[in-house]
């Protein structure tokens, strides 16, 4: 009876269908299921996390050791951010104001200097209620910025007279009953004050034309013209 053929030794190479096919010895998982390549990847990730954590701790420590300074409060009287310090001479008195450069002369007079005689009517330069004098010339204060008149002489209805004495125009408006509600009256008087310094014809029509930029919703125009003409006659500028 012949002996059976010897059994073939088990192959050390995995077959093509094996899960570890194509891996080198260094990639094969050990007894704990982690190969050399996986171990190196895990170690690198842990090291990176440690470095990032250290950087975060350093940043937090720097923030704590160097706190952000609190915003400083500007000294009293100095302009706030966005404001300009300007000097306005109004009714022969000089004022220093901290104003937004977009503030109109009308608002500066009323809101900042407490001179409410200059009226806000249309706020579009169409009614004349806000008329003031700047270096003797009449302008609509709602259409000009306060910063544009630094160093100039601004005169409002409050500064037209001399002390307690009324200006001749103010007296004439009272004597000729040249007002009803009175809202437009300051602007009418200031416009007339400017007219007295301008070339103007002697007749009533010339006065009406010169004052046409000032509206009176009460319709007191005839009496307004009569008041202005009386002052012009007294000054020798009208018949």
> How many domains does the chain contain in total?
2
Arithmetic mean of pLDDT, 87-116: 96
Arithmetic mean of pLDDT, 61-88: 73
| Residue 72, in any domain of the structure | no
Residues of the chain with pLDDT > 90: what percent? 62
pTM over 0.75: no
pLDDT at 52: 58
Are 173 and 126 in the same domain?
Answer: no
Per-residue pLDDT band at 64 (split at 50, 70, 90): low
Are 122 and 184 in the same domain?
Answer: no
**CB neighbour list of residue 54: distance below 8 Å, 6 or more residues apart:** none
End position of a domain, from candidates 159, 190, 225: 159
């Amino acid at each position: 009876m012949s002996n059976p053929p010897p059994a073939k030794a088990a192959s050390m190479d995995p077959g093509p269908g094996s899960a570890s096919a194509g891996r080198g010895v260094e990639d094969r998982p050990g007894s704990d299921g982690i190969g050399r390549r996986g171990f190196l990847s895990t170690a690198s990730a842990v090291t990176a996390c440690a470095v990032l954590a250290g950087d975060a701790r350093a940043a937090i420590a720097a923030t704590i050791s160097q706190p952000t300074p609190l915003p400083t409060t500007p000294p009293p009287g100095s302009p706030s951010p966005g404001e300009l310090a300007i000097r306005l001479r109004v009714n022969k008195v000089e004022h220093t104001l901290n104003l937004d450069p977009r503030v109109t002369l009308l608002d500066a007079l009323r809101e900042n200097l407490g001179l409410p005689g200059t009226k806000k009517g249309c706020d579009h330069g169409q009614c004349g209620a806000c008329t003031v004098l700047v270096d003797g010339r009449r302008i609509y204060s709602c259409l000009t910025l306060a910063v544009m008149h630094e160093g100039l002489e601004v005169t409002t209805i409050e500064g037209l007279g001399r002390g307690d004495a009324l200006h001749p125009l103010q007296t004439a408006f009272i004597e000729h009953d040249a007002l009803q509600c009175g809202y437009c009256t300051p602007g009418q008087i200031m416009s007339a004050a400017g007219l007295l310094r301008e070339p103007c014809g002697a007749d009533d029509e010339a006065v009406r034309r010169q004052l046409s930029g000032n509206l009176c919703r009460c319709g007191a125009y005839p009496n307004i013209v009569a008041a202005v003409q009386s002052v012009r006659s007294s000054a020798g500028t009208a018949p």
